[in-house]
A = this chain, B = another copy of it.
Amino acid sequence: MSAIRYELIKTDKQTGARLGILHTPHGSYETPMFMPVGTLATVKTMSPEELKEIGAGVILSNTYHLWLRPGHDIVKEAGGLHQFMNWDQAILTDSGGFQVFSLSEFRKIEEEGVHFRNHLNGDKLFLSPEISMEVQNALGSDIMMAFDECPPYPAEYDYMKKSVERTSRWAERCLKAHKRPKDQGLFGIVQGGEYEDLRKQSAEDLVSLDFPGYAVGGLSVGEPKETMNRMLEFTTPLLPADKPRYLMGVGSPDSLIDGAIRGIDMFDCVLPTRIARNGTVMTSSGRLVVKNAKYARDFCPLDEHCDCYTCRNYSRAYIRHLIHTNEILGFRLCTYHNLHFLIQLMERVRQAIREDCLMDFREQFFEQYGFNKPNAKNF
């Protein structure tokens, strides 16, 4: 019996989007869902109570970052990541693979693993499927991710083919090295870039290993949105219907809806928290850069249709002042609002699936948000 179980409730008649429940050792959560990112064992600026207030379910934390600081041994000594950070709901940890490829330098990929240099101080480091599993077992996350190779975008076919094959071999090693399958569910990651046959090969390899969940990796790395959607349409049907599907690193409102339409159940992204700290927020009528001078005397809430703590109590003028003067409360208020916005969006997506009208909802949302406009500002 795996630590993670997915229960399919219903499928939207317009699109094939799935309404489901993800059962974890730390609670059950409705899908499709968005997972806020807490890289260093904290969702930047937010307290656990605030996360619960906005209805956050699963949060994500980064294995690579925690491995370096404070070190997985310290987190383990604290009783695991949940206890360390005072979060009693579910946690997903990534494998460190993406950070090795995006943050570190001088990396050298071998069959055994990856040699690279620490992004903080340049120290030599080595990460492998076995080490990633050891670290994630120490962290004690509910959902662990297999250690994969994240190829650059774009990548040549031959490179991608070798990479996909290595990722499959590494996935098998991850399964073998995983010491706590009863407490933690390990997800495989389908790679293959823009190549359909490699996506297929990757999906088949991983499905044959019978993971309790599957991620689609290597998307949202610079390719056009159409490519992402096409690859999702191709890939998700290759994955078993009774397992959850996770699209990694995607968090713009349009992509969440378009991913759900293509059968994705889980999303994560630093987008809402990152742009918040720069004074940019998502509203029902589109992106708003509250930091701009034009909001200095605007005493309306960030979003007049929003009932979150920020919008109930503070004006654009006040938040603009806080961001402008680098005040932490400003970062808090924008982060709170953005996470609330995406979590509410997913609740509306689920409601649309319940009512078999997700395409209608998409149309309406895109229109209101301004995604349909030519030259629409996106993220």
Contacts and interface: CB of A to CB of B under 8 A. Distances in A.
A320 B85 CA distance: 12
A297 interface: yes
B313 A86 contact: yes
Contact of A328 (B48, B74, B331): B331
Interface residues of A, number: 35
A315 interface: yes
A41 interface: yes
Contacts of A45: 328-329, 332
B44 A318 contact: no
A325 interface: yes
Given A70-B321, A84-B318, A321-B41, A46 B299 contact: no
A147 to B, nearest CB: 23
Number of identical monomers bound together in the oligomeric complex: 2
A281 B297 CA distance: 38
A42 interface: yes
Interface of A: 40-42, 44-48, 69-70, 74, 77-78, 84-86, 296-297, 299, 313-315, 317-318, 320-322, 324-325, 327-332
20 contacts: A40-B322, A40-B325, A41-B318, A41-B321, A41-B322, A42-B330, A45-B328, A45-B329, A46-B329, A47-B329, A70-B296, A70-B317, A70-B320, A74-B297, A74-B321, A78-B299, A78-B315, A84-B315, A85-B318, A86-B318
